[in-house]
Structure 1
């Protein structure tokens, strides 16, 4: 990468801000999902989200699969994990964690997702974090912790089964970020989005069948399902993969913290939620950290995440294809 505010090696500019915008759109999820959750099982909602998006993207499926056919086994495996794991299975695991345990445990352990993503980005993509990374990561993670709990000093993690389910969800979501970054050098953003939903659809159907839930929904839920599929679903992920193509995964995972910040604002504004003083503090800290990260990467000559060396450079690793 050249300077972060300039054109990068592949002619693209840093798009940390676009990842944050996509994550903010995910924050509208609760406004649409809450009424549906009162009428439908979670697995059924996830299935219809994938089905509606696949119907919209149907004309793009042949070209997306042709593009995937030209890739190697690494990209095939990555797409399977992104679609089946990060898109469908992770949501099912996170929902199950709430069902079998207390509501605190999944929220606590979900905060480990950025840490999983940073480790995976280092191991799979060869990304290296400079010391300046912690100046954004620590406040962002601390702010997310404050935002998640009314009393951040009175947290008790219990129920081993719920904890394992939540850790599995966090790991899969982190893998989705890193593997999405990996395949973005071999597949167009449009193809990654299309394949994610196409692979996630049969996995979500399997989840519904295993849980013994119904696939049927009423027309009363049609509008909500459509908006859920197209706004925090298709639109957000389309922007996300465009942004991820030019954003190192370790940096993108911090930009994704715009998601809980937006969700909190939506909850207070439309869902009759209230925030404690420490939650308001956490909200402002997250917004400030994510905004500062995007500003720094666009205006400063030294990025906080060092991409791997380009192919052919001295000392380049086998993961060098995953750079921006």
Structure 2
């Protein structure tokens, strides 16, 4: 029994997908210094929408028969969790370093637990504070090289990254609810398409230029296809055969790769307290995930959708 299970386990593939996420700074960082965040994210969504376009028509058909709550969730996921969150995340690269926005993104599971209590009516237990408070301390240490000296630029970068993490966490929670009626392909196609429409409206209202240089095209393609589409597909292929506790550990490849890219490619030198902050954030997230999987009294009592085989 043990041998077939180990053969089917795809923890290694989760690590590969997470490593691809960590490469995002290679292209997003330089682009953010040259182009408006809105321009970058618009082209990113356009490329992703084209890539998943074969899934769109069936997705729209299923959405038309879905409950109003599912429709509303999909709109929020596309407009907020996809479009606005990615704009905030990209803007954080212009104001901060290449490492901090990506590691702060790892606060997403902690935020998702809290949002599940608010949005899905799931019960939040006091033990949750034991994971949240250390993570907040770690986030503070990470965001500010000198923890007792907060600059406007570092505060803005941290708030933008945290805003993105909160919106992505909301997308996770709402996606879990919507997955009762829609499959992963449906959610992916609708997420990127609604996000693209939202960005188009914002571009028109703000008069933001969509002009890009020929030199930016390869970076935009790689940004959309590698940490975007390829990582997403690999992650969901792996998740079906990977225990959640192992997947969480494998996802540490994301911030570790992001830190390596920042140090090697961009010559970023985190302070000692920032390295401590990285360690505290990651330890808090892993501890929460292991607690939720193994404890008989999890931090949040989760209500599972009726069609649990589909990932949100």
For the criterion TM > 0.5, the same-fold answer is yes
Higher percent of residues as helix: 2
In 1: Cα distance, 2:131 partner to 2:159 partner:
28
**Would you say 1:126 and 2:124 are equivalent positions?**
no
The secondary structure found in structure 2 opposite 1:38 is helix
> CA distance change for structure 1 residues 309 and 88 in 2, over 3 Å: closer, same or farther?
closer
The secondary structure found in structure 2 opposite 1:153 is coil
Does the Cα contact within 8 Å between 1:189 and 1:238 map onto a contact in 2?
A: no
Report the equivalent of 2:67: 72
5 Å matches for 1:44-123?
Answer: 44-92=39-87, 117-123=112-118
Report the equivalent of 1:189: 184
**Would you say 1:176 and 2:168 are equivalent positions?**
no
The secondary structure found in structure 1 opposite 2:215 is helix
The secondary structure found in structure 2 opposite 1:126 is coil
> CA distance change for structure 1 residues 152 and 261 in 2, over 3 Å: closer, same or farther?
farther
Alpha-carbon displacement from aligned partner over 1:217-251 (angstroms, at most 9, x marks no partner): 233222211111122222344466779999xxxxx
Report the equivalent of 2:4: none
Cα RMSD of the aligned pairs, angstroms, is: 4.5
**Would you say 1:286 and 2:281 are equivalent positions?**
yes
Report the equivalent of 1:137: 132
TM-score normalised by L of structure 2: 0.73
**Would you say 1:211 and 2:214 are equivalent positions?**
no
Report the equivalent of 2:146: 151
Does the Cα contact within 8 Å between 1:24 and 1:259 map onto a contact in 2?
A: yes
Does the Cα contact within 8 Å between 1:182 and 1:321 map onto a contact in 2?
A: no
Deviation at 1:119, TM superposition (A): 3.6
Report the equivalent of 2:296: 302
In 2: Cα distance, 1:126 partner to 1:243 partner:
29
Q: Which runs of 5+ in 1 are unaligned?
A: 1-14, 247-251, 311-319
In 1: Cα distance, 2:261 partner to 2:252 partner:
15
Deviation at 1:86, TM superposition (A): 1.6
TM-score normalised by L of structure 1: 0.71
Matched pairs, number: 296
Deviation at 1:39, TM superposition (A): 3.0
Alpha-carbon displacement from aligned partner over 1:133-164 (angstroms, at most 9, x marks no partner): 44433333332322222012222669xx9999
Q: Which runs of 5+ in 2 are unaligned?
A: 1-9, 242-246
